[in-house]
Structure formats: C-alpha cells, structure tokens
Structure 1
Amino acid sequence: MPKLTDESLFLYAELYGFLQLALPNIVKGCEWGSTVKHGISLRTLIRKSGDLPGPCLLITGDMQGAIFGGLFESPLAPTAKQKYQGTNQTFVFTTIDGGPRLFRPKGANRYFYLCLNDLLAFGGGGNFALRLDGDLLNFNFVARRLSGTSGPCDTFENQCLAHNQEFELKNVELWGFTHSSQYTN
C-alpha cells in the first residue's frame, strides 16, 4: 500500500483511501509527498508545484472542520489572460457532509482550473468550486488568517465545498506523487 512521506493536518485513513481510488491511474500506488504546508502565498504554491513531476492534489480545510480541495496537473502554469487548463481527470472533493464526496467534470464546459499569477480556481460557470487568490492566500499579518471562497459551479455540479461560501482556511497542503509513471525511476 502506498504511503505518505510527510505528515498532514487533513489526511486521515478513510480520506486517504478515498482519494487514492479517485486518482488517475498514472499515480495510483505512488508515494505521496508534500511540498507546501503551513500557510503559503499563492506565488510560493505555484513555484513549489514546479518541484512535482505530475498531477498534484491541493488539500485545505475550513475552521469548522470541512476538508476539501482538488486535483490539477503540475507544474502550475500561470497564464496572462483567464485561460482555463486541465483535463477531465481534474476533480474537486469535500468532507462537508461527514464522509468524503468527489465531484468530477460533468461535461457542461471545460473550465477545469484557472491559474493566474494572483488566482487559483477550480471550476466555473456560476461560481468557482474553489478559489484562492493572491490577496486571500497570503497571511494577513494582523489577523494571521488565510481565506478563500467556494460555491456551486457548472463544471463539477458541486455543492459549496466549505461550510460557508466565504471561509477562513485552516491550512494549505500541496501533495505530489514520487513516481508519476511505472516507467520512471
């Protein structure tokens, strides 16, 4: 069974097993390693994604205990204009209702994820399923908070992933997989 190479504030046995089954076949069975933890700027998250050879799993959570995030291709490549990236393997997930729940693209559009220098968002059409932006993801040194937004979107036909559409984040973790292919050493 694959294992985590780092500790996580969010992953527990049931969620780990659930996400392991949801991953693309190319990374199933690989070790999971985290490059970003403990609250970071969006710029750092984008830069650290360059250290990862394949798909990445962004995991975060709100202060009320919901854990949520999404899968995207790595490294993140910010675009100058709002140009969506990703494939139908992109997904978002939440534990808002207790157990983990996965939302895959439903074919309404190709708004898988959006990466700009000051914004990272999953989904589109209506709302973003999950949105973190440069101002929201940076520490507010007075209040020392991280925040984001979530809402129902056409891409994933998801519910709000957090307890509220605007939320304070507990933390941010970026997970990669040490062997993106069975042919890589």
Structure 2
Amino acid sequence: MHSWKDKFTEKIANFFYEPSSSSSSSPSSSDHDQTSLPLKDESYLSSILSFLFPSQESISKEENDYEAGSLKIIKCKNSDTKDENPDLGSGKSTSSNEVFEDAIDLKTPKKHVHDLNLDSVFISSNLSQFFLSCLPNIVKGCKWVLIYSTLKHGISLRTLIRNTFEVSGPCLLITGDNKGAVFGGLINCPLTPTPQRKYQGTVQTFVFTTLYGAPTLFRPTGANRYFYICSNDMLAFGGGGSFALRLDGDLLTGTSGPCDTFGNRCLAHNEEFELKNVELWGFTHSSRFR
C-alpha cells in the first residue's frame, strides 16, 4: 500500500510531465518511464516537497539566518540581565532596559510645564505662560511653592517677611485690585527689613501688570538702582518719581505710579487702591526620581 506522500509525489510528477513528440508516437510504458524519469528523480521531488512541507530543522535554520542578517531584533530583558554586547560609547555592558530608557531620554524632549493646579487666586493659564517667559532661568522648571497668602496666613506684612526665611532665591509677589487688575514684582528671598530706606534687589527685579490687555512686563531701565525696599510697615518697588508698587504694612491698601527705575505706567486701575489678596511664591528644585 502506498502512503499519502507517495501518492502526492506521483500526482506532482504527473502534473509537471509533458510527453515529448517521441513518446507520443510510441506510448509504451517503458518510453513513458524514460521520458518522465528526470521529473521523477528523487532529489528533484524531494526539493519540491521540502519547499511545500519544510521540516522543523529547516525552519529553525531559516530563523537563525534571519536573526544573523542585516536586521537586528532588540529583545527586552530583565533589569538584572546584562547585554552580551558592550556599549560602544562607554566600553561597558548595559542591560537592555537601560538602553531602552536612554533611547527615550534622547528622543523625547523634556519640556517643563507650569503646574496649573496651583492654589492661587490670580494665576490663570495665560498668566502662567507669561511667567514662564519672563522668570529668570535659574527658577524655570522648578516647583512653585506658596510662601504666603493673606487667605491662608492672615493679613500681616510681618508674617510675609517671616515666611520668606523658608526659601532662598527669587520669589514672585502677586497681588491685585478689586477691579480685576493683577500686578506684582520679583524680589529676592529671604527679605531683610531695614529701619531706613535702603534699596535692595538686582537687575533681575521687575514689575508687571495685566491692566493693559495682555500681561505687560517692566524691567529696570538703568536710570537708578532703586529696585525694592522692605521695612516692617512697607514693601515697595522702584523709585524716582513715585513707587511703581507700594504695599502698606496691613496688606489691605497700596499705591502705584510711574517711576524711573522701571519706566512703568500705573499698574492698577487707580493710583490708590484696595488689595484683593497678596501671594508670594517661591521656587524649589524637585527631584526627577520622586
């Protein structure tokens, strides 16, 4: 009894067999066998069957040849499994996960986005983008920390000054009037109150306002170095003509006017106004591993 493979081989041979002219004239069985002999050659049929029904050994060989070709398949491994190929740049081996993480760090640009969930009365999305563009580079990308707010800490300039000793570096004072204008300025913390009018600050100090449509920034003009004054009963920005912004000790009222230090216009709707709230924000560097 012939097996199914023998029958299939015979059908394949008959399919490819085309009788020649000599065989058609003498259709004897011996001639037929001689004519079809090349097609029924065992090695030839074996190659056909190997193509149609590849063995497991040939499949494994093809997979190995594929992996050894020009395409390299990167497989993920556990962090404790070391890559057999050393890092060409550093001359040391690394795990596949480390290589994968490095690839993400190189291809994914880091962009620091301001936290819009801050507990602030004044900071909107538009104002947040404005601060990102005008704040010093040393605080860009830092975490915002609320140092003082009249809604949380009470109405007291002394409390505001005392809380500034918790941080160091630039801090942003934000306040506003009851008619909707938001304004303030940049100071350095901790604040040091002086009994006399002694100006402090650096050329990084500025004042701003939203009174004139889009947020407007006023930086030092170089006319003087009257950046800001801090005492137990007053906090004021600028000088020469009038204060650009002055907050009274009770943090309930204030004044604003043009000054030579910043070349600004009035920051509030009126030169004298009632304060809606006062906030002081500091900046700290947060770790990427937290």
> What TM-score, normalized by structure 1, do the two folds share?
0.89
1:5 Cα shift? 6.6
Partner of 1:161: 267
Which of 221, 236, 241 is residue 121 of structure 1 equivalent to?
Answer: 236
Partner of 1:105: 220
Q: CA RMSD in A?
A: 1.7
CA–CA separation in structure 1 for the residues paired with 2:266 and 2:187: 19
Aligned: 1:18 with 2:124: no
CA–CA separation in structure 2 for the residues paired with 1:95 and 1:2: 19
- Structure 2 gap ranges (5+): 1-112
Which of 168, 187, 192 is residue 53 of structure 1 equivalent to?
Answer: 168
Higher helix proportion (structure 1 or 2): 2
Q: How does 1:22-171 map to 2 (within 5 A)?
A: 22-37=134-149, 38=151, 40-134=155-249, 136-137=250-251, 146-171=252-277
User: Which stretch of structure 1 is more off in the superposition, 39-48 or 151-160?
Assistant: 39-48
Partner of 1:142: none
- Structure 1 gap ranges (5+): 138-145
Q: Is the 1:123–1:156 Cα contact (8 Å) retained in structure 2?
A: yes
Q: Secondary structure at 2:275's aligned position in 1?
A: strand
Matched letter for residue 131 of structure 2 = L
1:4 Cα shift? 5.5
Q: How many residues align?
A: 173
1:2 Cα shift? 3.3
Aligned: 1:179 with 2:285: yes
Q: Is the 1:4–1:31 Cα contact (8 Å) retained in structure 2?
A: no
1:85/1:121 CA distance change after superposition, 3 Å = same
Q: Which has the higher contact order (CA 8 A, sep 6+)?
A: 1
Q: Is the 1:79–1:115 Cα contact (8 Å) retained in structure 2?
A: yes
> What TM-score, normalized by structure 2, do the two folds share?
0.57
Q: Is the 2:116–2:128 Cα contact (8 Å) retained in structure 1?
A: no
Matched letter for residue 255 of structure 2 = T
1:85/1:4 CA distance change after superposition, 3 Å = farther
Matched letter for residue 269 of structure 2 = H
Q: Is the 1:5–1:33 Cα contact (8 Å) retained in structure 2?
A: no
Partner of 1:140: none
Identity of aligned residues (%): 67
1:51 Cα shift? 1.3
